[in-house]
Structures are given as C-alpha cells and as structure tokens.
Structure 1
Amino acid sequence: MRGVKWSVLVGLWLFTSLLAGCGGQSAEPAIVTTPLQIDMIIKQKDSEYWNTVKLGAEVAAKEFNVKLNFRGPDRETDIEGQIKLMEASIQAGPDAIILAAGDYMALAKITDQAIGIPVITMDAEVASARPVAFIGANNYASGQLAAERLSTLTGPEAEIGIVNFVKGARNADQRLEGLLDYLARYPGISIMETAYCGADQELAYRQAAAMLEKHPGLDAIVALSGEGGLGVGRAVREAGLVPKVKIVTFDSPPAVMEMLQEGTVQATVIQNPFSNGYLAVKQAVEYIQGLEVPDRTDTGTKLIDLNNMMWPENQKQLFPFVR
C-alpha cells in the first residue's frame, strides 16, 4: 500500500465516504417542502480542511432540504472580515447561522446581536451565550495527544519549537494549553519558541526555518494545524534535518500524509471535518424544528502514524464520514 500514490487513495476513500454519508443515515428532522435558509460562516473559504467541512455540510443540506450559504474570508487571520460576514448574515435573517469563530473574544459582540436567530458553533467556540450547540473536536485533549507522542519521540530531555495558527482562536488556544500542560510533567523538555502562522503555509515555513537556524539543538517542532505542518515539514526537509528533527502536526491533507509516508512527519492528530459540517447543518435543522440537540458534540480525534494509518478504523477518520 505504501507504493500507492496518496492522492489516489484520497479520491477513492473520500468517494466511498461520501456515499456512506449520503445513504447510511436515518434523518430525525422532518424534510420540509420550503427550503430552510442556513448560513455557514467559517474561518477561511478555501483550504483542504474547510473544503471537507463544506462537503459534509452540502450532503446534509441536500438531505434535509436546506439552502446553504457557505461564506468565509480569504484568510483565517481576517477576523474583521468574518465579523462583517456575521453582520450581513444577521441583517439577512436566515433560519440559522453556523459559525466557526476565528477569534473567541472578537466574534462575541456580533454573535450576541443574533437575536431570534439560532446560532450553532462548529470547530471553534465563541465567548457568547447565544449559541445553542457546539460541534467539533475536544481541542485540549487533542493538544495532550500531540504532546504525549512528542515526548515519546524526543524523550524526557529535549528542545521543542511550536507553530500554532491564529492567536485568539479558541481551538488554537485549547490545543496549545493541552500541549503545554502535558509537557509540563517533563522538566527536561524546554519550549524554545512559539510562533503563530495564521494558518499560512508559507509563513509557517519561514518561521520554522528561522527556528532551526536560531536553535540548532532543536529536537522537534509541533505544528498545531495542517497548513502549519506543511510549512514546518518543508523547512525541516530543506534543512536536511529529516529525521533528526521530529514533527508532530494536525489534520490530514494529502501532502501531510505523503510527508508521513516518507518519514518527514512522525505523527498527525486528525479531526473529522466532514462530520463537523454534516452534523452542524443537521443539528441546526433539528433545533429549528423544535427537536432537542446536545449542547456539545465531540466528533473525535485520533493520532495517526505510519504504523496505524492503514488500519480500517483509522481510514474511516482519515477520510471522514458521518457515522
């Protein structure tokens, strides 16, 4: 299997997953004759992760007769742009808004203004009492997962760099908190530097290259996003430090999985973006129809390495579908 091109595997498994998601679900919400209007406002409108979220949301929209407006800024760091999208959505008055907040505090005020419009948060929370539900990963636990594997790779004495994504995003902060809390049990592990790449692969590459030059004794870098992992992997590879400098990252874009196969990346913590999108739309419909929805839905994470990436149960999460 290692000789098979990873992009081909992605296509085959994702196609199978989509079929499973479309045909294998029993829909609790009633199918309405007039389409419901639901706005989904995400952090960045074009990336591997968010495109998979969109696929899941579109499957649910088709299943439950929803007109889905999928919107997001060009960059995850464009918090003001996301606030403006929320303002426009509230003005339009859809049946529900699904929000993946780019900044926990900055999106709170505008979310508070969504009076009479149900708000579901997905992927990252917001500091507002308005949302009726959250769908996404347990990001603190995800950070702990990454730290546990990192400490195994480096041992109890190590110098480590961190490349996070957007400072102020709730999931970014929680992943970092979980990582640092776990590593605190090892007094010999030193965090040499923490950078924020804004989910920008090129910036992550430059930051990682600078870390490697500034800290020649660096043993590992943990990237807390997929885009960050791609930039870090490229920097370590170009510096000729594979496999001396270990890399633990997040998410499973095809390029990260190829780096895992070739040994540049040692492990990645994967989420379930397809299920995030699908369940956010489904629970929005349920809430609109007066059905009970859970306050929190944990869509799960798992640590993947070269040893377990081809296990059938892990393929289901690498190429996510709704169970």
Structure 2
Amino acid sequence: MKMAFLFSALLACAPLAARAADTGAPLRFVLIPKTVHPWFDKVNTGAHAAADLLARLTGRRIEIEYRAPQTADVSSQNDIIERAVATHPDGLILDLLDEKGNHATMQEAVDEKVPMTVFDSLPPEGMDVTAVGADFCEQGTIAAQRLASLIGGKGEVAIMMGVPTAPNHSLRAQCERTAFAKYPGITVVATGIDNDSIETAQKQAAAVMQAHPDLAGWVACDASGPVGIGQAIRESGRTGKVREVGLDNLNDMIQLIHDGVADSSASSRPEMQGYWAVVAAWQRALGQKTPKYIDTGIDVLTRKNI
C-alpha cells in the first residue's frame, strides 16, 4: 500500500510535458549487467517487480530486456550497449565494467538521445546519469573493520578484487585498504583478481593461502570473491583459522555464514537496485529530472539474522 501510494504521488507530480509523452505505447528498457551472474539475476528480479507495479498503476506496459555479457569483458559489454542503442530503447540500465572503457559507447547513447541509468556503479564524470546503489566505500569499510575486529587488530590479510577496472570494485578495495591502515598490526600481504568468477576466486584464494600460511583473514570487493574464498578455506581445512567477511547476499554466501566458514557479509541489496533503477529509468523516459544518486543501503548478514 505504501509503495502504491508513493508511485501515485510520483504520477501526480509528473510535469505536463512528461504526461503528454505518455502515448500508451509500451516502454522498453534494456538492462545490461557486468556479466552472467546470480547477483544480477536478483537485480533482474527487482527490475521486473518495478515494471509490473508501474504497469498496474499506469496502465502502460513496461518491457525489460536483459542482455548480459557471458564474461566480464569490456569490449563484449560495449558491443551489447551499441546494439541496444541501435534499437532506440526508452532507456538503458547499465552496470559499468570500466568507467573509461565504457565512456565512448555511453556517449553514443547520449548522441542518440537514449536516456541512461547506472546501478551498482558510478557514472563517468560529467555525464548526467542517475546512479543507483549502495555506498561502496562504506560497504568495503564495514567488511574491513569487521575482519580487523575478528583478528584482534593484528595479522596478515588479503583482499580479493573483482574486476579491477569496475568503479565499485576498485572503490571498495581502496576503502578496505584505508580501513586496514588504521591498524598498525595488520598487513595486507596479497590481492587476488577474480574478474567476477567464483571458480577464479577459489583458485586465487587457494594460491594466496598456500603462499601465506600465516594468513589471518580475507575481504572481497565483489559477490563472486567471497564465495570462492569460502570454498578455498573449507577445502584447505582452515575453517576457523582463516577468517572471512564477505560481500552481498548470494545463497552460497549465506550458506558459508550458516556453516561458520565465513563470519558475515556486508551486503548491498540487488533486488532493490534493480527496482529503483527501473523507477529512475521510467522517470527519465517521461522527461522528468531524476536524483543524482539513489542509495539503496547495506545489510550486515550474520548467523544471527540470516
């Protein structure tokens, strides 16, 4: 009821020009994540939930086209964006793999007057694009501080990067390092790169722990990293010896917390990101101004609350 009231208020406040733009034809938004991944499936679920509610409230159908690169590859993502722009959708909803690498393709969308919204990311500097997501620095800081507390403020730790060029992944890593730097007894001894692949993260984590037998704990910068780390910890028989604080709310991450392999997870809310990205895209499609940033918040998941 509250959400329906909110959307009714948004409709009532819509400028006349925006209402005139509503011809009754379906609105079509193309949702392009970083790669095929369970986390983005949750985003897609939230996006469809918002589209369904808006359609019920307005009587105007909203189509969500989900087009995910098979791997986290910038050129593949740019190709998908270019092909989407060529179809002149009512909006693009993007999670950027590389702010600089995606810039030229995003500019093509601007030139073709295709509105854009980004989620789980930050827009290129100077582009008038609404960003939807959690505070990435806060998320990384929460994870690092929880790990520091778990290991008593001393010991060797490692960071698992996702895609190093991704704005959200690199910002989390930067803020994790800043948080660890406040503890003179903590040393970051290794940084893995998993490119948003659980299998790669598992292999990287196993290699790091073999090279650093005194490793005390792990944090990650993406949703795949902590799952792979947890698998490596379990397989090496180091559950309880190497501590982990993960990110996000994949089912595998929740199971690792439940099993005691991971302590907790600083989780963004992917369903909510997809939901509000569609709301912002809908407002843009109707010619309305949208916020610069929509913060969807962070959940700290532990064995007590999962």
Q: Please give the TM-score of this superposition, normalised by the length of structure 1.
A: 0.84
* Alignment equivalent of 1:244, drawn from 241, 245, 248: 241
Between the aligned partners of 2:4 and 2:247, the Cα distance in structure 1 is 29
Task: Specify every segment of 5 or more residues in structure 1 that has no aligned partner in the other structure, as ranges.
Answer: 1-19, 311-323
Quickly say closer, same or farther: Cα 1:246–1:143, change in 2 above 3 A.
Answer: same
Q: Distance in 1 between matches of 2:208 and 2:6?
A: 47
Q: Which residue pairs with 2:232 in the alignment?
A: 235
Q: Distance in 1 between matches of 2:125 and 2:105?
A: 9
Indicate if the aligned counterparts of 1:146 and 1:179 stay in contact, CA closer than 8 A.
yes
Matched, 1:99 2:94: yes
1:36: which partner in 2?
27
* Percent of aligned positions that are identical: 27
Residue 204 of structure 1: aligned partner: 201
Residue identity in the other structure for 2:75? E
Q: Deviations over 1:225-273 (max 9, x none)?
A: 2221111111111111110100111011112111111110001011111
Deviation at 1:39, TM superposition (A): 1.2
Q: 1:70 aligns with which of 47, 66, 83?
A: 66
Deviates more, 1:274-283 or 1:126-135: 126-135
Distance 1:40 1:263 in 2: 35
SS of 2:215's equivalent in the other structure is coil
**Does 1:298 find its partner at 2:295?**
yes
Q: Distance in 2 between matches of 1:59 and 1:295?
A: 23
- The answer to whether the aligner puts 1:86 opposite 2:77 as a matched pair is no
**1:51 maps to what in 2?**
41
1:110–1:258 Cα change, 3 Å? same
Structure 1: distance between partners of 2:181 and 2:194 = 24
Return the offset for 1:44. 1.4
Mapped partners of 1:25, 1:54: distance in 2: 22
Query: What is the root-mean-square deviation of aligned Cα atoms in Å?
Result: 1.9
- For the pair 1:217 / 2:207, whether they are aligned, the reply is no
Q: Distance in 2 between matches of 1:95 and 1:128?
A: 23
Q: CA deviation at 1:148?
A: 0.9
Letter in 2 for 1:305: T
Q: Distance in 1 between matches of 2:93 and 2:249?
A: 23
Match in the other structure for 2:15: none
* CA distance in structure 1 between the aligned counterparts of 2:213 and 2:178, rounded to whole angstroms: 25
Q: Distance in 2 between matches of 1:249 and 1:44?
A: 20
- In 2, distance between residues paired with 1:293 and 1:128? 17
Partner residue, 2:14? none
**Alignment length (residue pairs):** 288
Task: Please say if residues 118 and 131 of structure 1, whose CA atoms lie closer than 8 Å, have aligned partners that are also in contact.
Answer: no
Per the TM alignment, residue 132 of structure 1 is displaced from its structure 2 partner at its CA by: 2.4
Mapped to 1, the partners of 2:223 and 2:90 lie a distance apart of 32
CA shift in 2, pair 1:59/1:22, >3 Å: farther
- 1:223–1:249 contact (8 Å) kept in structure 2: yes
Structure 2 unaligned blocks of 5 or more? 12-18, 55-60
Quick check: 2:170–2:221 contact (8 Å CA) kept in 1? no
1:130 deviation in Å? 3.2
SS of corresponding position for 1:87:
helix
1:62-211 map, 5 Å: 62-64=52-54, 65-76=61-72, 78-114=73-109, 115=111, 116-211=113-208
Residue 219 of structure 1 contacts residue 244 of structure 1 at CA under 8 Å; is this kept in 2?
A: yes
TM-score (norm 2): 0.89
Which stretch of the first structure deviates more once superposed, 63-72 or 172-181? 63-72
Q: CA deviation at 1:147?
A: 1.0
